[in-house]
Every structure is written in structure tokens, then in C-alpha cells.
Amino acid sequence: EVIEGGGAVVLPGFVDLHTHLREPGREDTETIATGSAAAARGGYTAVFAMANTDPVADNATVTDNVYRTGREVGLVDVHPVGAVTVGLQGRQLAEMGMMAAGAGRVRLFSDDGNCVDDPLVMRRALEYATGLGVLIAQHAEEPRLTVGAVAHEGPTATRLGLAGWPRAAEESIVARDALLARDAGARIHICHASTAGTVELIRWAKAQGISITAEVTPHHLLLTDERLSTYDGLNRVNPPLREASDTEALRSALADGVLDCVATDHAPHAMQDKCCEFAAARPGMLGLETALPIVVATLVAPGLLDWRGVARVMSERPAAIVGLPDQGRPIAVGEPANLTLVDPDRTWEVVPEDLASRSRNTPYTGMTMPAGITATLLRGRVTQLGGEVRW
Ligand code: DOR
Ligand code: ZN
Ligand code: ZN
């Protein structure tokens, strides 16, 4: 097959360390099939499916099923994420060894949605994970500081009368977990870094030689809490949208390598759970189909990142962090063709009905995106061409 690629940029297939696919349990909002289609359209060849499903992916039966279903769909490599604690309750460690040894070969564990907030549980989890050679990803949120919080703590939340989520809720856990990882000789990955302070803490930890990595979402790179003035629930997300000083710090940290990669935190929700009073809206927004264009808008266009850098933050670094040998590689003779073709000159408008995701909760409706994802190849098979998914 000949793919028209005039003027295209060729990149290694994108790897998303943080995707919510909602299967099992909320197949009305996303399935492994619909989420895989969204991933293919976004240029992804591998996604990590978060464990906060129903039932929770805290055992090998669930993680193996997620893996097998992903293989059957065949559009993207779906890697199950295992829960760190049973039921995401933050108390009893899950059987991480069973999940790692199962068919799903779980290599990433996270209680995302919840934070492993008990320091003793986190310490034991880091020791256990180190023994297994797997990685823990932490949703950094000190829950005693976020009771009732729905928006970033700052002038906007005050003006709008919304309960605030302080930066310290995130940063205190980032600092603590860096120190716990240091003492355990463990690796730790920080989910969705959202504040300038988190950037400084990770910079510090890396300078100490601590094995810490971190991701940032497209929405935290682009959006600020000023959008909340319409009280539109589509802008509610955890951690919350912050301020311009934070987005600026996140952008330059991604460019200079203090932050390692972009991860979508793709979080599908039913519209009745998003279009309601702001404080009642579920947190989370779609991310897979708009991630690359937002990276182009926030980093490539202003000259902070070149296409080599895009390959690094969207593919090479995330693949290296979880140790995927056949992803994130420079395209070379004889290597499996996991790749994405990008048209840097094609602009397109976000129309929720056009998305492949089963949900519609994008905050970008009507926005013009600055780059098209022309094609995606998974091990040489075209999974998406011109936005059309090849099932
Ligand atoms: O906004 C969020 N949505 N943050 C999370 O941590 C969980 C996620 C979800 O599952 O919807
Ligand atoms: Zn999270
Ligand atoms: Zn998440």
C-alpha cells in the first residue's frame, strides 16, 4: 500500500503511559475497542490502561483479560496497569507478582484516581516493586488537603467560590515519594505533574541521583483555571488546571528533560456526569485524539521543541520508562514499523461527534488544532489512515 506522505513528518508510534479505558465496568463510556480506535487516531501504538476499572485491576484475572481483549482488537498494544493496593483502598498491597507473571505481563502499577497516601504502604510497595523489577506510578495527591476541592486553589477559585486544591497537596507527595524511592533504592514515576513546584522538586530529586520520572498531560500544558469562569464541568480534572506560571514551567521542563514525557490521562465520562453543576461534574477529559496537536501548539510552534523532541516525549522516553523494547525506537532497517505520520501543515477543528472515543467530554470543542495525524502503523499494519480507523 502506498501512503501519500508529501511533507509528512515520520515519528515513532506514540506511547501513552496513562489512559483510562473503562473496561471492565463502564463500557457505556469507553471500551478497549473504542479507546484503541481513539489511540490509533491519535498516533499511538501502545497505551497503558489504568487500573481504576470496575472490578479494579488488582488481580491477574482482570489484567490478563484487559491484555487479551487489547490483542483481539489489535489496533494498539494495550498494556494493563495493575493496582498497587487491593481495591485502590491504599491499605493492603495487591498481588503485583501474580499480575507481573500473568499473560498481561504487568510492568506498571498505579492506584491512579487515588493516591497511595500512607507512607508505610508506599514504602512497602516500592520495595516489592523493586524486587519484581516493575514501576510504580503515583497520583500525587495528599487527600487530607483536597477534601471537597474541585479547582486549583488561587484567585480564580476564590472569585468563583470554588473549593481550592492547593499545590502543596501534589508537591508534598512528590517530595515524600522521591525520598521514599531514594531510601528504598527504588524507581518512582509521577503521574500528571501540574505545578511549577513539582517541576522544581523533580529537578532537585534527579540532581540527587534519585530514580524519578514524570509525565505531564496535554491539558496541563495548554489550559489554565481561567477557563473555569464559565463553570463548565468539561474543565474539571484532577489534578486541576493551574495558572499560567505553572503551564510555562511545565512546558520548559518538558523541553529541557526535567519532565520526561507527555501522557494523556484520557478520562472518558458520560455527558450527564460532565454537564452539570461544576462541583458535581466528574473529573477528567478526553486526551488521546488531541495530544499531539496540543504538543505542537504549546511546544513546537513556540520553538521549545523540534520534531526530534516530539519523538522523545511522545514515544522514546515513555517506552524506555516502562521498558518496551519494540516501541519508541528510531526507525531503522529491519525494526518493527511502529510509526506515526504527521502532517504539520494540516489544521483541523475539534468536533466531538467526529471522535472515535465512545465519550464526548473534550474541552477543546471548536478549537483549531495545528497538526494532522495522517497515519498510524502498528508492526507494519496500518491502523489508521486519514483519521479512518482500519479495524
Ligand atoms: O481527572 C481525573 N480523572 N483524574 C484521575 O486521577 C482519575 C481520572 C478518571 O479516572 O476519570
Ligand atoms: Zn490521576
Ligand atoms: Zn488518570
Instruction: Tell me what pLDDT residue 382 has.
Output: 97
* Averaged pLDDT for residues 193-221: 99
pLDDT, the chain, mean: 97
> CA-CA distance, 7 to 23, in Å (whole number)?
38
Q: Amino acid identity, residue 319?
A: A
Beta bridge partners of 152: 165
Atom of ligand 1 nearest to the CA of 268: 11
Mean pLDDT, rounded, for 147-167: 98
199-212 mean pLDDT: 98
In this prediction, residues 77-103 reach a mean pLDDT of 98
Element (H, E) at 14: strand 14-19
| pLDDT on residue 295 | 98
Which atom of ligand 1 has the smallest separation from the CA of 236? 1
Over residues 295-317, the mean pLDDT reads 98
CB atoms within 10 A of CB 149: 21
Question: What pLDDT shows up at residue 329?
Answer: 83
pLDDT cut 90: percent of the chain above it: 95
For residue 377, give the nearest of 342, 339, 334 by alpha carbon.
339
Contacts of 312 (CB under 8 A, 6+ apart): none
Spatial separation of the C-alpha atoms in residues 57 and 80, rounded to whole Å:
8
N- to C-terminal Cα separation, the chain: 16
Rounded CA separation 197/366 (Å): 32
Which range, of 5-9, 21-25, 102-106, averages the lowest pLDDT? Answer: 5-9
> Judging by beta carbons within 10 Å of its beta carbon (0-12, 13-18, 19+), is residue 271 exposed, middle or buried?
middle
Residue 5 has pLDDT above 90, yes or no: no
Mean pLDDT, rounded, for 300-316: 98
Spatial distance between the Cα atoms of 212 and 232, rounded to a whole number of angstroms: 35
Count of residues making up the chain: 391
Instruction: Judge whether residue 2 has pLDDT over 80.
Output: no
CA distance 352 to 40: 17
Contact (CB, 8 A) for 374 and 8: yes
Pairing type for strands 372-378 and 339-343 reads antiparallel
Q: CB under 6 Å to ligand 1: residues?
A: 20, 52, 112-113, 139, 237-238, 267, 283-284
* Alpha-carbon torsion, ordered 154, 156, 160, 162, to 10 deg: -40
Helices then strands, each counted (H, E), the chain: 12, 17
- Is beta strand 339-343 parallel, antiparallel or unpaired with respect to 9-12? antiparallel
Mean pLDDT, to the nearest integer, of 217-222?
99
Cis peptide bond prior to 218, omega within 30° of 0: no
Q: Tell me the average pLDDT across 295-316.
A: 98
**Rounded (10°) angle between helices 60-73 and 32-41:** 50
pLDDT of 331 over the 80 cut: no
Binned at pLDDT 50, 70 and 90, residue 374 comes out as very high
Nearest C-alpha to atom 5 of ligand 1 is from which residue?
Answer: 113
Residues whose CB falls within 8 Å of the CB of residue 37, separated by 6 or more in sequence, listed in order: 75, 356, 357, 384, 389, 391
Query: Comparing 330 with 174, which gets the higher pLDDT?
Result: 174
List Cα–Cα distances, 196 to 202, 245, 246, 304, in angstroms. 10, 7, 5, 17
Instruction: Kindly report, residue by residue over 257-298, the tens digit of the pLDDT.
Output: 999 999 999 999 999 999 889 999 999 999 999 999 999 999
Q: What pLDDT is stored for residue 333 in this prediction? A: 82
Catalytic residue among 58, 77, 177, 265: 265
Q: What is the ipTM of this complex?
A: 0.97
Place 1 in a pLDDT band, splitting at 50, 70 and 90: confident
Q: Please give the pLDDT value at position 19.
A: 99
Nearest ligand to the CA atom of 17: 3
- Asked if 273 is an active-site residue, the reply is no
**Rounded distance from Cα 2 to ligand 2 centre (Å):** 40
- 62/301 Cα distance (integer angstroms): 42
